[in-house]
Structure 1
Amino acid sequence: MYSARRRWGRRQRVLLWGVLLAAWEAAWGQLRYSVPEEMPKGSFVGDVAKDLGLQIPPLSDRGVRVISEGRTQYFALHGKTGHLMTAERIDREQLCRLVEKCVLRCELIVEGEMKVYEIQVEITDINDNAPSFREAEKDLRLSETAAIGARIPLPRALDPDLRRNSLQNYELSGDEHFSLAVQTGPGGDQRPELVLAKALDREEAAFHELVLRAMDGGDPARTGTARIRVTVLDANDNAPVFSQAEYTVRVAEDVPVGSVLVTVTATDPDEGLNGQVKYSFQTVSLKASEIFHLDSETGAITLLQNLDLEEDNSYELEVQARDGGDLSDTTKVAITVTDVNDNVPEISVRSALSEISEDAPSETVVALLHVHDRDSGANGEVRCSLDGDVPFRLESSQGSYYRVVTARELDREQQSEYNVTVRASDGGWPALQSSRVLALRVLDVNDNAPVFSQERYIMQISENHASCNEFEEVPAGVVHEEILMERKLVGFF
């Protein structure tokens, strides 16, 4: 008796709390309702007029209307009863596919009183979806030599419903050769596997027909099925074997696109499907997969893009040969790219003079140059020289550096400007060349005294001439009776 009174009192308190909560929500202009999905249009959702304390007769006069979020109006207000009704059929999985709690919001507007009430309607899930397989039929192939306990992943079913209405378990029906195991994934998803329970014998049964069922926990439960057909393969006694454990190929970097670089070959003595070999890349970098193509039928590896040794000088590919019974062998293909002389030497002027004094001593550094060739081997070996007969020479400095220095004294009076051409040539055949011109101006120094055009001047003068301005030069070889004066110029002046 005492226990029954306690339960009755508890129910009274819960009911009172619900009434108080509804009154509190209504006072704040907010209502919450719940309705199952897939209800027909016009289904009852809630008594809005009663919950808000609105009088029914004058509702239409007040301009009361319901507005839903979004373009689709899922709810409407019945003008005579004040009930909130569904205006469309609601599919929870379509509206809230990735959300467990599906809530639709709308607003009740009372234009006459200029009031707005928010209404939240939770759409609850019903078991309206059966588990379904993406593939209704699945073909599997299993060798008759497969070991007991071998596991093969089976297709998984999907059910968009929630909780108990969603996928719960799997069942397998067929024959005694197979059983079902269900693994639980990291996210709690179920992953069915086919387990070989009894040894296969192709001569006894070449095919096995199985049915995989997926069931949810709804009431009543819904199921989905997939047909599993297992083909028993003849014993694959021999695996493919490559003719070489490793293929080594040297390819010039200018080989044309589309060229066959190497053909790998694997043989399998089995007959039929077990002897048919397919080739594929087992391990290959993303870049190599864009450069090389492997023919799955012939094993030929062809070039898809131009090679460039300066970017990559070698590639390593791992090729697999697999027969129809899933036996395989692997081989390695090492491709080495050889250089061709496709880069000209590059001359960089690190430092240079534009002017030099004519009295600069020999070995004066005029320019510092750096020479580089991206090719390798002899194609990348660079020799430098100067064009013409110039008073300069090249000296090798550190690494790939050269210095241009004066080879002898300069004379501005003989040549005031030089355009020194530096030429670089690589060791390829034919050799590639490049050049740079260094412009250099020679500055003057006072290294020359004035010079007369003659060492002696001979003149004659009459005794009555008072001015030196009337002196006349005596022609060479002529003797006059007048006084002959001969003086060295310096002494005369």
Structure 2
Amino acid sequence: ALLWCVLVAAWEAAWGQLRYSIPEEMPKGSFVGDVAKDLALELPALRARGARVFDTGRTQYFVFGLQNGHLSMKDRVDREEICAAVAKCVLNFEILVKNPMNLYRGEVEILDINDNSPTFPERNSVLEISEYTAPGTRFPLEKAQDPDIGVNSLQNYECSESSYFSLDVKNGDDGVKYPELILVKSLDREQQAAHNLILTATDRGTPVKSGSTTIEIIVLDGNDNAPEFTQPVYKVTVREDVAVGSRLLQVSATDRDEGPNAEVKYSFFKIPEKFDKTFKLDPESGEIEITQKINFEEQEFYELDVQARDTGGLSCHSKVLITVADVNNHVPEIVIMSVFSPVPEDTPLGTVIAIFSVQDRDSGANGQVRCSIAERLPFRLEKTFEDYYRVVTARELDREAVSEYNVTVRASDGGSPSLWSSAVLSLRVLDVNDNAPVFAEARYSARVPENNAAGALVLRVRAVDADWGQNARVRYRLWEGRVRGAPLSSYVSVQAETGALYALRSFDYEEVREVGLWVRAEDGGAPALSSNVSVRLVIVDENDNAPQVLYPPSASGAGWAGVELAPRSAEPGALPAGSLTRWLVLAVAAVSCLFLAFLLLLLALRLRRWRRSQLLAAGGAAALRGVPASHFVGIDGVRAFLHSYSHEASLTADSRKSQLRFSGGSCCDTLPARPPAESSGDFVPA
């Protein structure tokens, strides 16, 4: 039952990564872990956020159940098939949720079970040994294969009993055990021409499993010296971009015999088929060359067994270790996992917009990838897990400024020269109703002639909303008011879509000379935003009223308005109300006479003054001139002006007084004061 249940299901909070363990060969639908519980997420929330296992293009081994929040096996998994000889077999998975977007990464370790027995490439093998071979000589045997790991892998070799041979198990540099057959005592072909041994390989699993092969040893006659390699191990390092046909190295062996027994042929000894297709060994020269492209990411290390065999059947073995050096020949790959688009322009800072992963199949610095985006963009990159990134908002978005972003993600490795690749994230900014309509003018006015036709177009108002779609759709309406006690809507109306203002009635200048109103523009957002503008309608007067006779009033009840009836006894030329007319004429004549008399009097006074001035000038009064001029300042409204006055005195023949009174000297711009009485004196002309 242990093989059908989870051995370990643990969640590590660090970095938000889930870790589970499960044995291989579990049937389809087997429980792996309770993701909902380990992430502390409610099942309804997981369903609402569309949680799913993200498909990265690799083989998917797990499924996520939205009903129970469990991670289950999608199919049976064979550890040896997917991980081969890797010590720790780990399968990664990603749980992607939305609203808000987040990525939870996890790994499932596939535990090995002892489901494979050690096996030999061949059930029967033949080994030829000369009867002259010295005791102590070692003969490498074909090793067994066990794809399991740990205690479930190959642990030991055993050989059937023989008085001529013993078995020695050696550990190679790669940790693999190699069986070698050791000749204990000399062979004698005449006594026994062949020997049969059974080689058994075992593991330490539960239960223990094993595999066997039969070794037939044929004793050869003569040829007492076997070839010997110059080195027990040949090592070479080759770049993975080495050209096909290139020579890697040359192995060499010598034989102390003479003649045909000293002729040595080289060959690979029991190497895997894929290695045999990759390398070629020249049997005559011992040169090893590459026959097909090698890839560091597929195979980092090759171990080849080389055999040198003379014509007498004796052979020796050596190892060739080929290390593949990584070359920066793989461009980083960007896998876009999820993109949140369109993005509302009021998205909070730090919101996850996209999640992607990068991978580079090179190793070391060649496989270390750095990602970047342009700094001018309102986004930034955050590294979540190894080779996983997310794009988050770094600054506020404004659709009215930029409605769409093409974010180029650049991934470059650490090789020399560096290789890079890029991917473009197309992000559309979703409009939010954050702009109110704006009128084209601060205020509107129009002149409307009176007696206009009902329904006449007065003017158009226009408002523009910087938003988009429904948020930018503007509708107009009147702000209700009253005109002369009547609702404003009974005078004018506005067309909701176009903003056209119409007169609903004919205006009369004599009644209404000006109409003031407010028009509101409102967008279609939720909630709606609006703005107002004032409109002033000036009514223009027209000559639409005839003069009206105020007096005499029309007869009460007369059939014709504006017609005055005369009595039948009136003589021709007589006017109605003639007595009143005569009094009016007399009054006008009297006023005219008084006005004429006033004018005549005024004219006489002017003439008299002019005549007097002429007489004074003719009387020789020039001697009295030279009286200091007086200067007066006059104030005319707000303006000041300066006048100079000259005082002259003269005596004429008709003067009745013999004394003249002169004022004393005064300063400029002052009025002279009256002098005292005793300062007066008689003036006697010379």
TM-score, length-scaled by structure 1: 0.46
More strand by share: 1
TM-score, length-scaled by structure 2: 0.34
- Higher normalized contact order (CA 8 Å, seq sep 6+, divided by chain length): 1
